[in-house]
A = this chain, B = another copy of it.
Amino acid sequence: MKIFHLLPVILLGAVLTSCHNSDAAKEKDKSINTTASKSQWANGAQLVISVSMQFETGGQPEGAESPFSGSPLPKGQPDLPAESWYRYGANEGIYRMLDLWKKYDIKVTSHVVGTAAQKYPEVARAIAKGGHEIAAHGIAWDNQWNKSYADELTFVKDGVDVVEKITGQKAVGYNCNWLRRSPNTLKVLQELGFLYHIDDLSRDEPFVTNVNGKKFVVMPYTLRNNDIVQVAGNHWSPDQFLSQLKHEFDQLYAEGATKRRMMSISFHDRIGGTPAMVHAMEEFIKYTREKSNVMYMRKDDIAKMVINDPKTPLDNSEEQYNQ
């Protein structure tokens, strides 16, 4: 494990990383020098894993997606079991996940809906206090793709301000409702001082895109390792989710020997925060700890690490919108 301490982590500013080697992995230590020297990441990682922990509960509009929304009640009629299903995210889900991250010393990125933090400020503060990144997710649980530039700017800024007041953290990363950006979103985010957004599925590594001629980081998000897609939407059982994570990890870790690779995982308060899902995630974390140079990181730290790294790809696929 010597090589890791030789890495220029001090130069990385606020970058927090965690790297563990299990006993089993220690036998491979002799090859670590070689491996690490080939790393495509400034911190020597063979694979960077980043978890998004969405905190949205309390911000949901009437009739928001739930196990009950398939047969909606008439407008104005409270759907009490659906509301109780959402409260689970604030009562149990986030806290259970925070316990898991703490146990394994993992720092995650939490996308916080403004109205969720207003409804449950103690939950938002607990996330921040745990050393996790507070990222923005809009002032409300609402469509963003159909807003005017001015409305979108207000929508994003209000969310940042509200959450900063509660948590003390000013967001530099953004996640749109259902990933659906407007053509203006990146310009709006840049104007507000954001460093990166995550609503892109085109690569297994972060890249830089030019927005008004300046660098903006695009962080890969995931539908594949996403609890709301696979568990709430596609009705996967936890063992299926765990199997997906392991297959994805095995492949990306192997590729990480020669390419810069990042694995993105997404958990939502009321879905990923259930006992079975957290248990599956713990099994996955243990599984990844068998390998050396796997680093779980916050997305702001990743963004800072790659934005000026010449190895970071430049991709202007959406340049028509960003100038």
A243, B248: Cβ atoms closer than 8 Å = no
Tell me the complex Cα distance, A92–B204, Å. Answer: 7
- C-beta contact mask, A264-287 vs B, less than 8 Å → 1, else 0? 000000000011111110100000
CB of A142 within 8 Å of the partner chain: no
Q: How far is the CA of A83 from the CA of B180 in the complex (A)?
A: 11
Residue of B nearest to A176 (CB): B81
Which residue of B is nearest A243, CB measured?
Answer: B239
Contact residues of A: prevailing secondary structure: helix
Cross-chain contact B234 with A243 (CB below 8 angstroms) = no
Contact mask A223-243 → B, CB, 8 Å, 1/0? Answer: 110000110001111111101
Chain B residues near A77: list those with CB within 8 A.
145-146
Task: Say whether A202 contacts B236, CB under 8 Å.
Answer: no
Which residues of A come within 8 Å of B, CB atoms?
67-68, 73, 77-81, 83-85, 87-88, 91-92, 96, 145-146, 178-181, 183, 185, 199-204, 223-224, 229-230, 234-241, 243-244, 247-248, 250-252, 255, 263, 274-280, 282, 317-318, 321
* 15 extra interface residue pairs, beta carbon distance < 8 Å, beyond A79-B180, A85-B202, A230-B237: A67-B229, A68-B180, A80-B318, A87-B317, A88-B203, A91-B203, A204-B275, A234-B235, A236-B237, A237-B243, A247-B279, A248-B275, A251-B275, A251-B278, A255-B275
Given A85-B202, A202-B91, A251-B275, do A180 and B80 touch, yes or no (CB 8 Å)?
yes
Pairwise interchain contact B199-A80, C-beta atoms closer than 8 A: yes
Chain B: which residue is nearest A283 at the CB level? Answer: B247
Q: Closest approach, in angstroms, between the C-beta of A235 and any C-beta of chain B?
A: 4
**B179, A81: Cβ atoms under 8 Å?**
yes
The residue in chain B whose Cβ has the minimal distance to the Cβ of A258 is B99
Q: A79-B180, A91-B203 known; A85 and B276 CB under 8 Å?
A: no
Complex contacts, A145 vs chain B, CB 8 Å: 73, 77, 80
Q: Are A248 and B234 in contact (CB under 8 A)?
A: no
A88 to B67, CA, bound (A): 27
Task: Give which listed residue, B92, B179, B185, B248, contacts A276 with CB less than 8 A.
Answer: B248
